[in-house]
Amino acid sequence: MRIRGIWVGGGALAIATLLSFLIGPEAFRENRASPGIGNARALQASYERWKAQYERTEGDRRLVLSLGYSKGLSARFTRAQGQIRLDLADGTISVEVSGLGAEEAFEVWLVDNRPGPGRSVKPEPGDAMLRIGSLKPKGSAATLETRLDREQLAGFEIDLVVVARAGETPVDGGLLFGSPTLYQRIYYSEQAGRLATFAQRGRASTVTSRPAASLFSAPFRALIPSPAYAQQIDLATVLAALVDQGRALFFEETFNGNGRTCGTCHPAENNLTIDPAFIATLPANDPLFVAEFMQALSKNFENPVLMRQFGLILENVDGFENLETKFVMRGVPHTLALITSLTSPPGPGPSERTGWGGDGAPGSGSLRDFATGAVTQHFTKTLKRRPGKDFRLPTDAELDAMEAFQLSLGRQSDLVLSGPGALVLKFAGMGVPNPEQGKVLFNSSAKCFNCHVNGGANAAFLPANFNFDTGVENAPHPADSTGEPRPRDGGLGRTENSNGSFGDGTFNTPTVVEAAVTCPCFHNNLAKTIEDAVGFYTTTAFSDSPSGSIVGTIILDPPQIEDVGAFLRTISALEKIRSALDLADKAKGASNLGQTKKLLRLSIDEVGHAIKVLQDPGLYSAAVTHLEDARTKLVEASKTKNKAERDVLIDQAIAAEVSAQDMVQ
């Protein structure tokens, strides 16, 4: 990616020039991406929190990237993984990789992707490539210690770090890949702009936690894609454009493949996931069903039976070399509140937790790289999966825009479920489960808080997202009665096991705030309802699992399971109401009727999800009545052409939604 250009003034021309480098000129075509889900303001707030933490851990002086196998980029499958550390002050680089074959030699390269027609994130002829040294055996690993030459790297920016076989370039022999994340790219770009400003004024920086002098001593930061400004960047404008462009790519771009988009499996109207009920509403020619009408994909691409009956998607998470047997069947994880669930625990492994295994993204394992693997896996026209023929890979700019969009979705922080300011839920009605009691159980004897502190995806003992083996793979699955092949899923990692699985048996912890509206639950869609998911933790499959042996037996009777389920349903409904309110407010400010209708349809969907998740067990009947009234008003507003009349209806819907909120919390 290239974030270049000179900031020549505060006007629209300067902003457009910068953004054209960030996301391409198509971002400025009128109505290229109509507004919808995604919140650039929330994205900026999360970036600012990330930046503060990054500087506390000396990210302004040290760039650390994970290295791993990448679908779409790697020349062949490998279980090797590693890490590169670049000291931005003196240019020293340290690389350590484990799992490479001792019989081969390997080299480390830096790649600067050059933009242009037909280019992509993949190393290609014409890109700038620099070999920085060879890996040397050191115990069970291979390492490289070297120092970069500033003169040799003048004008060079690191888009990729590549480990390749000796004698081959990253174009043909790249095995392991890593790249800076979106936030790292923005950070170093912003840092360079602030340095220029404060250097000209001769003042110490007041916008970072470190004095400007210490940042000037990090000249190698210029290797990270970053522009030089004469004035400070308008970050809000950049992020808003990135989110808009990312939204369009996510829902519209097929990458010259089989017709699928990211939105095929992550539709906005269905909580950015799919389930059997939603799948049943799709027409026969929907791109989700390409395995049923494209001969080249009729075998080993999807399993239509398991997809339609259980919402399971075929994934070759451990490489493509044996399509007949080396695959797993997984549900589609929603992409809501991702910013709350990406933090990896300390130690080696993916830079961010993505997907059900926690290692869903290729290369460095960051969300930015996720689309590279998704396009390669799901968008191809044939099982040969040839970039440039069966699909095109995203560009650096497209990866950045799609990451920005995904990070802007849903909640940007977790709830507060204990202590000062904790969420308190009101009486839900006579003869129905008790959500407030469910919250108490969640934080106590149900032991949910151990892995889902404050309803999120992070552990109570450390603010990071961990993987656990809870025994889900040992539980009987109704899909097995179909006779369709469903190999054992090994979860995180690629270690080959005697039972035929690949991995260490652990799976990523998801958030539970959204769980009730995104059922079925677990990586294999085992639990049809949220109550089924809660009940699983009272079974021997869990108590006999590695996680169960640590947590201990969980004893909940059926009414208590329903109470915990009611609590999870309620917090899901509150999040849907929050989202519906945001979309309705956006609809009032939309620039044209088409955009307004789109936003209103999304708001109607969100209200509908809130109604359903509360209505099934009969929770908060009075609040549901208000939500039904809000939905009626939104539907009427979507059919009203007069803006003044439409805004009145939207305001009435918003008032009804707020009343529903007040009846719940």
Radius of gyration of the chain (CA): 25
For 343, which DSSP code?
Answer: B
Looking at the predicted structure, is the pLDDT value of residue 5 above 50? no
Q: Rounded CA gap, 171 and 126, in Å?
A: 10
CB of 66 closer than 8 Å to CB of 351? yes
For residue 634, being part of any structural domain is answered with no
Nearest CA to 457 out of 350, 342, 547 is that of 342
Question: What digits encode the pLDDT tens for the residues 567-619?
Answer: 999 999 999 999 999 999 999 999 899 999 999 999 999 999 999 999 999 99
For residue 442, being part of any structural domain is answered with no
DSSP H or E stretch at residue 662: helix 643-664
Nearest CA to 648 out of 584, 580, 590 is that of 584
Looking at the predicted structure, is the pLDDT value of residue 346 above 90? no
Q: How many residues does the chain have?
A: 665
For residue 162, being part of any structural domain is answered with yes
CB of 624 closer than 8 Å to CB of 637? no
For residue 505, being part of any structural domain is answered with no
**What is the predicted pLDDT for the residue at 35?**
67
**What is the predicted pLDDT for the residue at 102?**
78
**Which residue reads 């909640």 in tokens?**
411
**Which range, of 10-19, 44-53, 116-125, 377-386, averages the lowest pLDDT?**
10-19
Average pLDDT (482-502) is: 95
For residue 482, being part of any structural domain is answered with no
**What are all long-range contacts of 583-590, with beta carbons under 8 Å and residues at least 24 apart?**
583/36, 583/37, 584/634, 584/650, 584/653, 584/654, 584/657, 585/654, 586/35, 587/637, 587/650, 588/647, 588/650, 588/651, 590/35
The count of domains in the chain is 1
For the chain, count helices (H), then strands (E).
Answer: 20, 15
Terminal-residue alpha carbon distance, the chain: 45
Looking at the predicted structure, is the pLDDT value of residue 563 above 50? yes
Angle at 564 between CA 562 and CA 565, to 5 degrees: 60
Angle at 609 between CA 605 and CA 613, to 5 degrees: 170
For residue 330, being part of any structural domain is answered with yes
Measured in degrees and rounded to the nearest 5, phi and psi for residue 414 equal -85, 170
Looking at the predicted structure, is the pLDDT value of residue 285 above 80? yes
More confident residue, 32 or 416: 416
For residue 605, being part of any structural domain is answered with no
For residue 471, being part of any structural domain is answered with no
Tokens of 225: 């894609």
Average pLDDT (437-449) is: 97
Tokens of 69: 């196998």
Residue 225, preceding bond cis, omega within 30 degrees? no
Nearest CA to 39 out of 530, 653, 579, 637 is that of 579
**What is the predicted pLDDT for the residue at 433?**
98
Q: What mean pLDDT, rounded, does the chain reach?
A: 89
Domain that holds residue 304: 1-413
**What is the predicted pLDDT for the residue at 199?**
31
Tokens of 153: 């790297």
